[in-house]
Amino acid sequence: MTDVVMTLVEAVIPMLLTGIGGACGWLLKSHKREEAKDQAMEAGLRTLLRAELLEIHTKYAPLGHIPVDVMEEAERVYRAYHGLGGNGTGTKIYEELKALPTVG
């Protein structure tokens, strides 16, 4: 009886370990794919937010002033942009918007 149990244990344990290892590998690959998707989504959203800042800048910088509600929108857009790791050009655009006098 113990030989039968030992034979089963010797056969079952490697199969279980192989299954567990395979499952862990699958989970890791799945996690990496999701992480890559998340990074792509963040980069895309950052790009759209920067484009929104640029659009506001293009419209109001030549006028020399910016409406208060538009500046508030620009602040919200910039906070989201910056929170996603955006800086550089977007920050420069935002700083130029902040320097404009507000109206209405």
What was the pLDDT predicted at 1? Answer: 60
Q: What is the per-residue pLDDT across 34-52, written as a single tens digit (0 to 9) for each? A: 888 888 989 999 999 999 9
Provide the 10 A C-beta neighbour count for residue 93: 22
The burial of 77, by beta-carbon neighbours within 10 Å (0-12 exposed, 13-18 middle, 19 or more buried), is given as buried
Cα separation, 61 vs 91, in Å, equals 15
Contact between 78 and 57 (Cβ < 8 Å):
no
Q: What is the per-residue pLDDT across 9-22, written as a single tens digit (0 to 9) for each? A: 677 777 777 777 77
**What are the phi and psi torsion angles at 66 (to 5°)?**
-145, 135
The whole model's pTM is what?
0.70
